Amino acid sequence: MSQLQRIAIAPNQLQEDQILLTPQQLHYLGRVLRLRDGDRFMAMDGVGKCWLAQLAGEQGQVLESLSVKTELPVTITLMVALPKGNGFDEVVRSCTELGVTCIAPVLSDRTLLNPSPQKLERWRRIAAEAAEQSERSFVPTILEPEAFSTAIKAGVENQRYICEARGEYPHLRNSINSVSGEIVIAIGPEGGWTETEIENAIASGFQPVSLGRRILRAVTAPIVAISLIAAACEV
Ligand code: SAM
């Protein structure tokens, strides 16, 4: 099935066994990919379902439902203090490819950026494209940015980690205590977390962890963290 092109559809585009294609999807399938009536493609709804379909005029005729096994056995929420410039684009793209479930952009004491609403739309588009590209059946949720102090108070996951570049903390690799369930991992901004932020996170159940002895860029650290979790959880 790997040679087939994929498109992401909204769940309400599927009616009975017909996929009602949008003008953009028709353009992409017909003009960009040069598919003709009868040619096959895959459609994913971004929330776990995938279908084999064939082009039929302005619709996709569903041929069969497919089982896609590309998701990790854990749910990972990545909390990231927004890096400067367009660094967050790369975080969203790479971490989606690696299997993240949810990305929560947070504003920390040393965050420089307060993003525009257009940025959120852009990140969601990047996540959808990266999920398609890496053949995932889920598109990660990108939450609205919120203050780190608020974000750490939500949720009841028992595996919550905060990455700190300095100090004698256990390595994340040795700290993951379950390869299923829900994991939350927090990465700081270019200037790092403040002491108060670390203290508040610990008080909210976060365990401080290291990603190794080198100081990673704010864009590299999330990629390393998600890779380590995926490596620990995937057989
Ligand atoms: N300016 C900070 C300093 O000099 O300590 C470094 C901040 S680092 C560029 C950005 C974020 O990436 C950190 O807040 C941390 O969450 C994460 N990070 C980078 N390297 C790390 C490491 N070796 N272990 C754990 N976290 C790391």
pLDDT tens figures, 31-64:
999 999 999 999 988 888 899 999 999 999 999 9
CA of 220 to the centre of ligand 1 (A): 9
Distance CA(92)–CA(88), nearest Å, equals: 6
* CATH of 6-66 among 2.10.109.10, 2.60.40.290, 1.10.10.10, 2.40.240.20: 2.40.240.20
**pLDDT score recorded for residue 161:** 97
Distance CA(163)–CA(10), nearest Å, equals: 35
- The residue-averaged pLDDT of 226-231 equals 96
Q: Is the CB of 87 under 6 A from ligand 1?
A: no
**pLDDT score recorded for residue 217:** 96
Q: Is the CB of 217 under 6 A from ligand 1?
A: yes
Both tokens of 15, joined, read: 């009616």
Q: Residue 179 — pLDDT band, cuts 50, 70, 90?
A: confident
Distance CA(152)–CA(50), nearest Å, equals: 34
Q: Is the pLDDT of residue 112 over 70?
A: no
pTM confidence score: 0.86
Instruction: Give, using CA atoms, the residue closest to atom 7 of ligand 1.
Output: 192
Q: Is the pLDDT of residue 19 over 60?
A: yes
**Is 202 or 4 the better-scoring residue by pLDDT?**
202
**pLDDT score recorded for residue 107:** 94
Distance CA(14)–CA(99), nearest Å, equals: 25
74-233, superfamily in CATH? SPOUT methyltransferase, trefoil knot domain (3.40.1280.10)
Residues of the chain with CATH 2.40.240.20: 6-66
